[in-house]
Amino acid sequence: MFTFRFILTLLMLAGCSGPPDVTTGNNVHTGRSFAFAKPQRLYADAVTVLYAAPAFERGPDSTGYHILVSVARNDLNYPKITEAWSFGTRLAYSKKDRRRNFCHPVCDREETGTIHLSRAAFETYAQTGFAFQLLGKRGAYHGVISAEAFQFVLNQIKI
């Protein structure tokens, strides 16, 4: 897999820009390519915000379909996400990074992670959309990603 921090940086840049709705790239040194939809703000309350984006990556020896997630809290606690669920099914989730951002007056505590999907699931969500819940020590965070976001990614890759 390519460096998650690189992708996260691209996610943040894509979140600040308008169209196009999908960001793509290719690393000529590693042979890896990727595509991800513009991050969507899916959940927000007084303390927490959740962003997510469908993503695809291809390398010389692997292909992956994912949902990149970012949960940030504006108090002194990280979200500490441990699980991802969708309608009674526990999803493969891996935490990628933790950082403190925007320190005025209190630093946001952000945690990023990846929900890993199969190709078939990704293609299904391109028709139906995807509802999920992240669970962590500090709470539960709900999100629904539109089918259109998955379709945008699929339209950019040759499966």
Could you say which DSSP state residue 15 is in?
Answer: H
DSSP 43-55: EE-SSEEEEEEEE
Q: How many domains does the chain have?
A: 1
Query: pLDDT tens digits, residue range 95-130?
Result: 886 666 666 666 677 888 999 999 999 999 999 999
Closest CA to 132 of 69, 78, 82, 87: 87
Q: Which of 36-50, 62-76, 93-107, 144-158 has the lowest mean pLDDT?
A: 93-107
Q: Print the domain residue range for 60.
A: 4-156
Q: 11 near 53, Cβ under 8 Å?
A: yes
